[in-house]
Amino acid sequence: MKQIFPSYYKNFRCIAGDCRHSCCIGWEIDIDADTMEIYRNFPDIVQRIDTSAEPAHFRLTEDERCPFLNGCGLCEIILNHGEDHLCQICDDHPRFRNFFGNRTETGLGLCCEAAAKLILGYPDKVTFDADSTGCGGDSGNEREFFALRGQLFAIAQNRDLSIVERMREMLVFADADAVLPARSLTEWAEYYMGLECLDPARDDVLTRITDRELPFDAHAVPAEQLLVYFLYRHLASAVEDGMFAARTAFAVLSTRMVFAMASAIAGNGGITFEDLAEAARLYSSEVEYSEENMDDILWELDDLQEFR
Ligand code: SF4
C-alpha cells in the first residue's frame, strides 16, 4: 500500500498551549473501542468518560472543554500517561485520509490553526510524495482520475498565470465553468449563512462580506496552496460519486470564500497572512467538518452546473 503525503506534511507541529482554537474545546470526542479497553484500567481517565452511549466519549466541562485539557492548554492524558495513550481521533487530528485501492493519501486539515499557517505559508509548489514502502499499482479508473487531477494541480500551480486565470482554467478543464459567475460573493455569503452553523463567529464574518475585488495577486502563494489543498482533500471522492466538476468548483469557491472572509476580518485595511489563516481555519471548521454542509454545497454546485 502506497502512502502519499503533501511535501509540507512532516513540518507539522501541534502548538498545544499556544493554540487559540484548540481542537480540545467545543467538539465531542468519541473514543474508539480499542483505546476504551485500555482506558478501563485507569480510574483517573475512565471517570471522566461518558460510557452511557456508543461510542463512549469524553465528558465535556460546562464550557465545552475536554476534561483532560488543563489550564495551560496541555493534555493531561499525554502528561500523565504518554502520547501512546491517546485515542485514535486525538492521535490523528488534524490529519485526514483518503483511501484508494492501493494507496492512502494523508493530509493536514485547515481547521487546525497550526496546519493552516503551515499550508498557506508553504512557499514552494506542493508535491505529493510516496513513502518508500509503497508497492502495487492503481486501478484503471484511479489512474485516469490521478491523471486528470494531476492536470488540475498543474493549472493551480502555474505561476505564469494570475490566480483568477488559474481558477478560470480549472473550471473550464473540469467542465464547471458555468458554476461560479452564477452568484456574487454576497449572494454566496447569504447561501453559506443558511447552512448548519457550528460557531456563531462564522455569521459575524459572513455578514461583513462585500462584493469588492479579492486581493489574490497580493497573496498568490496562499491562494495557490488553498486551491491545491481543496483539490487534494475533496476531489478523491469523485472516483466514487462522479462529481468531478462540482468538486473542482468547490475548490475554487472555497478559495474565493476564504479570501472573502479574510477581507471581512481585515475590515478596511489590506488583508494579512494572519487574516487568511484565520479565515481558512474558520471556513474549514464550518464546512469541512460538517458532512451536512459539505453535501449541501456539492449538490448546490452540481445543480448550478446542470441547469446552466
Ligand atoms: S487545533 Fe491544531 S495546534 Fe491546536 S491543539 Fe489541536 S492539533 Fe494542536
Distance CA 14, CA 103 (A): 26
- Helix (H) or strand (E) run with residue 130 in it: strand 128-130
Whole-number Å distance, alpha carbon 22 to ligand 1 midpoint, is 5
Q: Quick: pLDDT tens for 13-61.
A: 999 889 888 889 988 899 999 999 999 999 999 999 999 888 899 999 9
Any ligand 1 atom below 6 A from CB of 16: yes
Whether residue 215 has a cis bond before it, omega within 30° of 0: no
Write out the chain's pLDDT in tens, 308 residues: 899 999 999 999 999 889 888 889 988 899 999 999 999 999 999 999 999 888 899 999 998 899 999 988 899 999 999 999 999 999 999 999 999 998 999 999 999 999 999 999 999 999 998 875 655 667 778 889 999 999 999 999 999 999 999 999 999 999 887 666 678 999 999 999 999 998 889 999 999 999 989 999 999 999 999 999 999 999 999 999 999 999 999 999 999 999 999 999 998 778 999 999 999 999 999 999 899 999 999 999 988 776 54
Pick from 9, 18, 20, 23 the residue to mutate for probing ligand 1's pocket: most ligand atoms within 8 Å of its CB: 23
Say which residues have a Cβ less than 8 Å from residue 155's Cβ, sequence separation at least 6: 161, 166, 169, 170, 173
For 198-261, strand residue ranges (E) read none
Q: Is 94 in the pocket of ligand 1 (CB under 6 A)?
A: yes
> Pick from 170, 136, 193, 173: which is nearest to 253 by CA?
170
Does residue 74 have its Cβ closer than 6 Å to ligand 1? no
Q: Three cell numbers at 172?
A: 473550464
Give domain limits for the chain: 24-92, 138-306
49 Cβ below 6 A of ligand 1? no
Parallel, antiparallel or unpaired: strands 95-99 and 103-108 = antiparallel
**181: CA distance to ligand 1 center in Å?**
36
Q: CA separation (Å) from 161 to 8, 171, 259?
A: 23, 15, 18
How many angstroms separate the CA atoms of 137 and 242, rounded?
21
Answer yes or no: is the C-beta of 263 below 6 A from any ligand 1 atom: no
Long-range contacts of the stretch 271-274 (C-beta < 8 A, 24+): 271/215, 271/218, 271/219, 273/117, 273/120, 273/121, 273/219, 273/222
Rounded to two decimals, the pTM is 0.92
23 C-alpha to ligand 1 centroid (Å): 5
